[in-house]
Structure 1
Amino acid sequence: MSGNPLFTLSLHPHCSQGTYIYIGQDGSVKPVSEFIDMPNFLREVEVLSRELKPSRFTMLSKIKVLSRVKKYYDEDKAPDGLSFEEFLKSMDGYQDVSKRRIYSNNGHGNEFGHIFIAGMHFMDAYNFSVERVMRCVIHYTDPQGHLYPFCAYNALPYRKKVENKFKLSPDAIKEKLIAEGRPKELETIARKMGL
């Protein structure tokens, strides 16, 4: 809807989840999926993304988009007083930080508290799945530039191997910092280590 091309995330659907939570003026708490038909809304957005060319995303195109997605918004189920227009305004700040508005008691800004809640389902040795790790989008890197998928790094022996290969003793750290002319960092590290 912004007119800018976006990228597709390849992560496995079991790896993460999230929702927007809205707090109504009456204090009620509702997830966005309670007042928006998300499956149909997302299908419509996908169709629109193919129909509309970013370079031709005019005001008329934006009106067309709004009229086609508004039908998935159920104002009766939305937090009290949250119109479709206010909902859209609340989403502006997630894409453009300069448009973020904070609730204030004097009525200025966005009067609907909202938050994005996300969760990650990390794998361990008991539920490790090669299919999931092949689609990983979060990686560790070692000092030599090797990449490790997050769960593979933590559930398999990679973490221990990398740490053992690159770890330094306190004396080796001290020698390295002195040789590099960084005594201030040495003092900070010594203080944190209680030396």
Structure 2
Amino acid sequence: AVNFQPVSLTGRMGKSEREKYRITVPDCVQRIEEQTNGEVTIDDWFPVPSCMPLTNVIEAFSSKPKYELSIHFACGAGTYIFEDADTKKFVPLTKFCDIQGMLELFEDKAEEIRSGKNKYFTMLEVVRKLKGFVDTKKQPAGLDLAKMFGNILMKRSFDSVGSWHVKGLFLGMMHFQDKYNEDLERLQRCDIHYLTPDLRIVPFCAFNVIPEWYRDRIQKKYSITVEEWEEREGVKLEDGLYRGLMRRGAGDELAAGCAKSQMFHDAAQATM
């Protein structure tokens, strides 16, 4: 994944200085279009909560609550690009897939399942209709998007989702707030929270970007040294640290994380 981070402004800044350095999500996607010579356009991006229809149909089919990215639309955006096996060029998802139509299908079928329609027949209908949203003439060589989506919907496993991420590259961005653009509606719709030791739930931007509101006070009140923690827990902090491939060595790939994991291998095989 490649995540672009619009800057959050800190410290005392006059209006002219703020205008000089301020860059928003729309500014970013416009510059990406310019700097990729139109390969990734502003129309290829979707706000984060656009994925909710997919979550809803999976939730309705599985009858189990799923994590919902229902954040405020202004918090971030994302898209996927796929490499054409023949031309080696990147092709945005929107260039060969009717995303809007697919999302509408997901939402409609989720509502049908909730209203009592047989969920198995409904999901089979969804999978059968997926090909109709994909322009196979424009679809990158070596990619079967409808098949991948069908596997995700029916299997709902890490391997099926892993296949998607092996083939595609996620482009995303999230614009964290600062004192000059604080938006209460965005804070209320936050999906990234901090649970504090005194059992309060604090939105990310309120906690991290404006630290004197919550973070500094909480850390001052509850933080302890590494030595104190090790004595209390009876373990060494170093023993629990993640070891990547560079530190483990080339002979220990399976223990080195996702890039060399069995899950990655299985996901890659599933796309062949």
CA contact (8 A) 1:133 1:151 kept: yes
- Match of residue 106 from structure 1: none
Match of 2:34? none
2:200 match:
146
Aligned to 1:40: 101
Q: Which runs of 5+ in 1 are unaligned?
A: 103-109, 189-195
Deviation of 1:42 (Å): 0.8
Name the CA distance, whole Å, in 1 between partners of 2:132 and 2:188: 38
Assess if the C-alpha contact under 8 Å between 1:93 and 1:99 holds in 2.
Answer: no
Determine the structure 2 residue equivalent to 1:57: 119
TM-score (norm. length: structure 1): 0.69
Q: 1:69 to 1:159 in 2, by over 3 A?
A: same
Q: Equivalent pairs: percent with the same residue? A: 28
Q: Is 1:24 equivalent to 2:84 in the alignment?
A: yes
Cα distance change of structure 1 residues 79 and 187 upon mapping to structure 2, 3 Å threshold = closer
User: Match for 2:223 among 157, 167, 179?
Assistant: 167
Report the CA distance shift for 1:85/1:4 in structure 2 as closer, same or farther (over 3 A): same
Q: CA deviation at 1:174?
A: 4.4
Q: Report the Cα offset of residue 150 of structure 1.
A: 0.4
Amino acid at match of 2:196: D
Distance (whole Å) between structure 1 residues aligned to residue 220 and residue 199 of structure 2:
16
Q: Secondary structure at the match of 2:62?
A: coil
Gapped runs of 5+ residues in structure 2?
Answer: 1-56, 240-272
Task: Please say if residues 92 and 100 of structure 1, whose CA atoms lie closer than 8 Å, have aligned partners that are also in contact.
Answer: no
TM-score with structure 2 setting the length: 0.52
The reply to whether residue 118 of structure 1 matches residue 177 of structure 2 is no
Please state how far the C-alpha of 1:138 moved relative to its aligned partner. 0.9
Correspondence 1:96-135 to 2 at 5 A: 96-99=157-160, 113-135=167-189
Quote the residue 1:4 is aligned against: 62
Question: Which gives a bigger RCO, structure 1 or 2 (Cα 8 Å, sep 6+)?
Answer: 1
Distance 2:233 2:149 in 1: 54
Which stretch of the first structure deviates more once superposed, 23-32 or 81-90? 81-90
Distance 1:86 1:126, change over 3 A: same
Cα deviation per residue 1:124-143 (whole Å; 9 max; x = unaligned)?
Answer: 12221111001111111222
Task: Write 1 or 2 for the structure with the bigger share of helix.
Answer: 2
SS at match of 1:52: helix
Is the radius of gyration larger for structure 1 or structure 2?
1
1:83-135 Cα deviation digits (max 9, x unpaired)? 45444367569931244676xxxxxxx9x822333322211122211110011
Q: How many residues align?
A: 174
Distance 1:77 1:99 in 2: 23
In structure 2, the CA distance between the partners of 1:29 and 1:37, relative to structure 1 (3 Å rule), is same
Partner Cα distance (2:201, 2:125) in 1 = 44
**CA 1:142–1:61 in structure 2 vs 1: closer, same or farther (change >3 Å)?**
closer
Q: Please report how far the alpha carbon of residue 66 of structure 1 lies from its aligned counterpart in structure 2 after TM superposition.
A: 3.1
Q: Aligned pair in 2 of structure 1 residues 144, 33: CA closer, same or farther (>3 Å)?
A: same
Superposed CA deviations along residues 144-167 of structure 1, whole A, max 9, x for unmatched, are: 222211000123321111122223
- CA gap of 1:31–1:90, structure 2 versus 1, over 3 A, is farther
Aligned-residue Cα RMSD (Å) equals 3.4
Could you say if the C-alpha distance between residues 84 and 114 of structure 1 is closer, same or farther in structure 2, counting changes exceeding 3 Å?
A: closer
In 2 relative to 1, CA 46–29 (structure 1 residues): closer, same or farther, beyond 3 Å? Answer: same
Note the C-alpha offset of 1:65: 1.8
C-alpha contact 1:37 1:72 (8 A) present in aligned 2: yes
Q: Secondary structure at the residue paired with 1:160?
A: helix
